[in-house]
Each structure stands twice: as C-alpha cells, then as structure tokens.
Amino acid sequence: MNGGSRAPRVVYGLLAPVLVALGVFFVWPLAAIVGRGLLTAGPNPIAGLRAAGGVGLVWFTLWQAAASTLLTVVLGLPLAWLTARADFRGQIVLRVLVMVPFVLPTVVVGVAFRTVFSDTGPLGFLHLSETVWAILVAHAYFNVSVVARIVGGVWARMDPRTEQAARTLGAGPVRAFVTAGLPVLLPAIASAAAVVFLYCATSFGIILIVGGTRFRTVETEIYQQVVGAFDLRTAAALALVQIVVVVAVVALGTVLRRRLAAQPARWSADRRVRRTLRTWVAIVVAATVTAVLLVYPLLALVSRSLHPDPSARLGLDAYRALGQAVVGVVPLKALTMSLVTALQASMIALVLGLLAAIAVTRLRGPLGRFADAVVMLPLGVSAVTLGFGYLVALQVLPVAARTSTVWLPIVQGLVALPLVVRVIAPALGAVDDRLRQAAAVLGASPVRVFVTVDLPTVLRPITAAACFAFAVTLGEFGAASFLVRPDAMTLPVLIGQLMSRPGWANSATAAACSVLLVAVTVVVVAAMESIRRDDPAQVEF
C-alpha cells in the first residue's frame, strides 16, 4: 500500500484501530489487575503469595515448562524433517495430523491423556495417572507441531548441498548434519523452544485435568484463588508475577525470531531428500510411528465415549445424551455457542490482524519494531490472566453490560490476533514492492494498489489465517472459564466441569463432547492445510 507521501498517513490510519482495540480491550483489564493487586487496600499481597505456594509454585511452573520444552523439541525435530524434507504420497494427511494437536482445545487434550493414563485406560499399567510425567507427555503432544512448523519452515528451504558436500568429504550422516545443517537450524530450534516454553508455562486445561489436585502452577492457582477461595487480590498478585515471567520469555523469543530472519540465506527450491532405499524406509517408519502416536490418544478418547458404563458393551448412549441437559447445560447447545463465539472471535482477529499485518510490513525502523511488538502483546499474557482481568474490570459496569456475551469473543479474538498476523505478514512481506510502486505511478490509490497487487497474493494466507483463528478460538478454555454464563456456556467449559465431577457417566459424556470438538477441529485444519499445501513456509509464531 504505497503511494508516495500518502503512504505513512494510510499506514497510521490502518494501525490506529488496532492500537485503540488493544488499548481498550487489552490494557484496560491488565490495568484492573494491577489496581486490584497493588493499589487497593487489603491483606499484604506478599503474604497471599506465600500462602498460595510462593516460590515453590513459581519454581514448579518453570521447571515443568522447561522439561516439557525439552521433550517437545526432541520429539518435534524428526517431525520437522519428515514434513519439510520428505516427499511422499499422503503428506498432506500427515501435516494435518501434526497440526491437529496444537489447535485442539487444551481441555480435550487433557481429557484424552487422563483417559489414556487412568487405571482403566489403555496405558493404565504404567501408573502415570496424575503424575508429572503425564503432564510432560500431554504438553509434548500439544506443542510438538510448534517445533515441526517453525523448524520445518527453515528446514524446507535450507540448501541440502552443504550437507551433501560434507558427505562427499567422508562425513557420516550424523556428523554431516551436526556440522553443516544444525548451525542453520539452531536459531529456529531456539525460537521454537521459547514458544513451547511460553505455552507450557501458561498451560491451564492440561494441568487442571491431567495433573488433578496434586499439581499446581501459577496459571491454575489464579483460577483456584478466584473460583475456590474468592481471593481476588492474591490472584491479581499471581497474575502480575506471571506477566513478568511471560513477557521476559516473549522478549527472548522475539530476539531469536529476528536472528532467524537475519541469518544468511542458504535456501534451495528443491526440498526433497535423495530417494534411496534407506531414505524410503526411514520415511515409512517415521510416518507410521508419527501417525500412531498422534492418533492413539484420540482413538482412546473415542473408545471412552463409547463406554458409558465400565461393565457395558460399546454403545452410543453418551452421544444420545448430548441433546439432554447435563449439569444444567445441553451439550449440543454449548457446541452451538462455541461455534458462534469462535466465528465472531475469528472475524475480530482477522480484521484487526489484516490491518496490523499491513502496517507492520510497511513501517520501517524503530516504528516498525514498535508496531510489531505491540501487536504481539496478547501473546505475552495468558488467556486465564486476560479473562481474570475482565472479571475484575467489568465490576465497574452495570449488571447488563458485565453479563453480556460480547466480551468472550473479544477476548478470544485478541488471543488469536498474533497468530493471524504471523500467518499474513510473511505473505505481505514477500510481495515485490516494485509492483506497488508501478501501480501507484499509474495513478492507483493505496486501496486499489492493495486490491490489485497485494490481495491476489495474500488471499490464500488470509483464508488460512481465518481457519487457524477459528480453530484456536473454538477450543479456548482459559478466558472462557471466567466469562461464560451458565445459560451461554461453551463446550470446552462444559467438558471441564464434567471432568471435575465424579462418575463414569460424566467422564463418558465429556469424552463424547471432546470427540465432537475433535471432529470440527480436524475439518478446519484439513481445510487450512489444503489452502497452504503449496506453501513451504510455516506459521511464524
């Protein structure tokens, strides 16, 4: 959207509504947390932090996130190679399977692994139910696609001739990769690790369901202090601690991402590995093992939904119950509410994300870096913290306003905003600026330049971003736990409530609800991957 001297004004005009939306709907609830945690009269927040677990709580949050990150990177690197360098029939299916766990609702992942590791589950003999190992495995399953996406995006474009030259000089496959390939991938691996650490440190649904009552993180303790103890000041103090930690991780990830973008280009259009017998065996084995590991928890979930009673035969009783009230809510109505809310949130994220992506790719220098950092701010605050901030901030509004259903899609749209920008911005940045300049010289207005030059190039990424935002917001659980009303409950929140209640029937119904969300998610991700299948670049987090 160039156009001579008009371009800066146009860019500022595009960025202005994004900044206003972030200022009103993001900064406002965070300011409410600061006011509740530090500025209001009440018990000493330090004493509240100590009573809630203090240093031990923060330590467990950090070390389980670090351990989960290490496990995720180890498991994700083979997937990155498989999706980036291998070329085989059915690769689109594998890419869908790799992407599905990340966009699954965390509560669904939690239910799946709680089912797998329960005493009556298929892996009950491992006795991992409500252990830290179950949490680490569930986190790795949920986040492995992040490593596959970020590292695979670099690996797909990396010139293989460097490693081939090392092999020619006598180096073995491992040594050739370590000396020639790994240095190029290290910034991407570090960037992926920072993102995974962020998601594991702010994990909510997985800790709450898989960890049970034995394990607490800062995220789950905020929820417990609000819902269980009604101690908003301690919850606010915990939220402030979490914000500081998370912002530090986001800053580190931003530095690593810039290093990745600035590294010398050694890319090749040919991403395929040489087709030898050993390579094909490795591809077949890796693809088979990957498919089994990714699908197995979901199959266990389906099996659990078909067993409404431990002594009964397979049946559809749990699915028949979806049209009846459970804990006062009809699951099918909750699914409808989730779909409507996700559609609204994805539209909010798409409109703001497109405006932000255009501005970020047009601005240069410190102003461009500032705009990019501001747009990424929602990535630095967890959905639980944001939802809690709204719970506090809305207290000053009339009852009708604070109980409105409008707040949830706004929050979820903000959560998805950075992801939308990271899908669209690389495509906009790849458009040849000389084409825009030529159109402007011929008299095209900035809007017409965008419609005729940019839009045809980024139409597919925009559609993929819409699918991505819809899938992510469909399963959002953290903010929804604070903001949904009993008469307008979303399906992930209902699943969480069912899993917190004893009884085989409740868990079977929760599994059936989870299967519904999995089915919708798989369809959306398949559509997104079909749109992006010819694009070797991956989502930039």
Q: Is the pLDDT of residue 497 over 90?
A: no
The closest alpha carbon to 473, from 219, 104, 21, belongs to 104
> CB–CB of 509/441 below 8 Å?
no
Question: Mean pLDDT over residues 157-176, rounded?
Answer: 67
The closest alpha carbon to 96, from 471, 410, 406, belongs to 471
State pLDDT tens for residues 275-292: 556 666 666 777 777 777
State pLDDT tens for residues 26-55: 989 988 888 776 666 555 666 666 666 677
Question: Mean pLDDT over residues 164-176, rounded?
Answer: 67
322-358: b (≥16 Cβ within 10 Å) or e: beeebeebbbebbbebbeebbbbbbebbbbbbbbbbb
Global confidence as pTM: 0.81
The highest-level CATH class for domain 1-41+317-535 is: mainly alpha
State pLDDT tens for residues 209-255: 898 778 888 888 888 887 776 677 778 878 888 878 777 777 776 67
More confidently predicted of 271 and 395: 395
The domain made up of 55-218+247-304 has a fold known as MetI-like fold (1.10.3720)
End-to-end CA distance of the chain: 24
Question: Mean pLDDT over residues 293-311, rounded?
Answer: 82
Q: Is the pLDDT of residue 393 over 80?
A: yes
**Range scoring the smallest mean pLDDT among 256-260, 268-272, 377-381:** 268-272
The closest alpha carbon to 29, from 503, 447, 394, belongs to 394
> CB–CB of 372/428 below 8 Å?
no
- DSSP, res 214: T
The reply to whether domains 1-41+317-535 and 55-218+247-304 share a CATH topology is yes
State pLDDT tens for residues 187-214: 788 878 888 898 898 888 899 889 877 8
- DSSP, res 158: B
Rounded distance between C-alpha atoms, residue 250 and residue 195, angstroms? 8
Task: Report CA 516 to chain centroid distance, whole Å.
Answer: 19
Q: Is the pLDDT of residue 429 over 70?
A: yes
> CB–CB of 479/32 below 8 Å?
no
Would residue 170 be called left, alpha or beta, if left means φ above 0 and alpha means ψ between -120 and 50 degrees? Answer: left
The rounded percent of the chain whose pLDDT value lies above 70 is 81
> CB–CB of 95/479 below 8 Å?
no
- Give the per-residue pLDDT at 135: 94
Q: Could you tell me the residue ranges of all domains in the chain? A: 1-41+317-535, 55-218+247-304
State pLDDT tens for residues 431-469: 777 777 787 777 777 777 777 877 787 888 888 888 889
Most trustworthy range by pLDDT among 29-43, 332-346, 488-502: 332-346
> CB–CB of 424/372 below 8 Å?
no
Q: 329 — phi, psi (to 5°)?
A: -130, 135
Rounded distance between C-alpha atoms, residue 388 and residue 390, angstroms? 5
> CB–CB of 483/533 below 8 Å?
no
Most trustworthy range by pLDDT among 67-71, 111-115, 268-272: 67-71
